Structure 1
Amino acid sequence: MSMREKIKVAAARYPNQRSAIMPALLIAQKEHGYLPGPVLEEVADILGVERIWVYELATFYTLFHTEPVGLFHLQLCDNVSCMLCGSEDLLKHIEAALGIEKGETTADGLFTLSTVECLGACEMAPVMQVGDDYHGKLDAARVDVLLDSLRAIAPRAASVENTSSQQPGE
């Protein structure tokens, strides 16, 4: 099923097309890996909504990416609970371990490191989201184990990502 068809199916569940923007953006991002301007415009056109509405949501929520990100997007919470539990030191550790700074992607394209305002998991502080998974009660040792495990699954994850983004017949 094409992205357009998937968005139309998702949008049919909502009485107002504006309410379908977030599900449509998730579909588009899964298809393209991120949401560049032309994709945002296409989503707006498919839904028949104002382009600014799509742009506002895509740039407000940290789950959407308007620029390419690494295979593994590491999103470290830097809100008060996580900060009090050591997220600032953890950020420095991750930057050193990956050889990048916040907002950058490793040269091999495996990791992008970001901070986010809140992941809504204060009980797990400090917490980091990688894809759809939360990793909490982190310290340097746990982060090192996590990074090693992500590197180990990278070839499989990349092959699944490439397969899922291909159109039939490619």
Structure 2
Amino acid sequence: MEHYGVQTAAGHLTVAAESKEPYAADVLASLHEDAAQVVARYPQKRSALLPLLHLVQSVDGYVTGRGIEFCAEVLDLSMAEVSGVATFYTQYKRHPNGEYTVGVCTNTLCAIMGGDQIWDEVSEHLGIGHDETTPDGKITLERVECNAACDYAPVVMANWEFFDNQTPESTKQLVDDLRSGADVTPSRGPSRVCTFTQVSRVLAGFNDGLADEGVGAGPASLEGLRVAREHDWTAPNGTPARHTAEVPADSAPGGVARGRHSSTDTPSNAADTLPGMPPAEGK
């Protein structure tokens, strides 16, 4: 049995057992069936490692030793190669995670708009710090970097769904509601926040049917474009401001966990938008 250290809510380092017990036959068969669908999307099967790690996380609740062995076996990778990826990205958990990961953005804009205060008060309210989990196993609290939603700062995310314009009081209510089992509706996106394991399966590439629920980008996301049009401002190369505002604000894509994108995510060439730069080759 493999062991590792886990930081508890009380701040003590304890030793917890990491499951390397073999998967039950039916669970293993289901994993292989799902993994085959994931691997089939890629010309080289090793490229499927990221979604496969989400897949095993959706089964175990975190990336276990047996999950690493499964990925290595399916993709013909070494345990070290899989472990190196699993320990690099923060969305992969190497110890048991809460049913809901609540991330408080404390990057510059959110911090000065109140994110630091939200973090301090919610951390005290729950009695846990960064990447720690409440004793009931419901909430894992994280400090997170930019959530790419600065127009709604300060922003909190619950399993990567947006909660905009938050306050310490609203965020404490959010975590209390999640712990109580109440259905919680994010500011944008689906009608409810799914569990950590459910979202892990979505991130593995399996549609849960909720991608088109709820509103996407709101007026704050599109305000800059509205002002540019009002003043007939153009990009440095003379291209009129247009991008994606043709999509109505109430149906524009938004959110993270379900593969949606910001209304400002229109692909562009840097030379088209930055003055003083030479044009790209072939232009």
More relative contact order in 1 or in 2 (CA 8 Å, sep 6+)?
1
In 2, Cα distance between equivalents of 1:59 and 1:124:
31
Which residue in the other structure is 2:110 paired with? 82
1:4-153 alignment, distance < 5 Å: 4-153=32-181
Paired residues, number: 161
What is the deviation of 1:103?
Answer: 2.6
Output the CA distance in 1 between the equivalents of 2:53 and 2:161. 19
Q: Which has the higher helix share?
A: 1
* AA in 1 matched with 2:124: A
Normalised to the residue count of structure 2, the TM-score between the two structures is: 0.51
Distance 1:119 1:55, change over 3 A: farther
Aligned residues with identical type, % of pairs: 34
Return closer, same or farther for 1:154/1:70 CA change in 2, 3 Å cut-off.
farther
Q: Is the 8 A contact 1:8 1:47 kept in 2?
A: no
List alignment gaps of at least 5 residues for structure 2: 1-28, 184-192, 198-283
Conserved? CA contact 1:110–1:154, under 8 Å: no
Aligned-partner Cα distance in 1 for 2:103–2:80: 26
Question: Aligned partners of 2:59 and 2:152: how far apart in 1?
Answer: 31
CA distance in 2, matches of 1:20, 1:151: 34
Q: CA deviation at 1:87?
A: 1.6
Could you tell me which runs of 5 or more consecutive residues in structure 1 were left unpaired when the two chains were aligned.
Answer: 162-170
Which protein has the larger Cα radius of gyration, Structure 1 or Structure 2? Answer: 2
Deviation at 1:24, TM superposition (A): 0.7
TM norm structure 1: 0.81
Backbone CA RMSD of aligned residues: 2.7
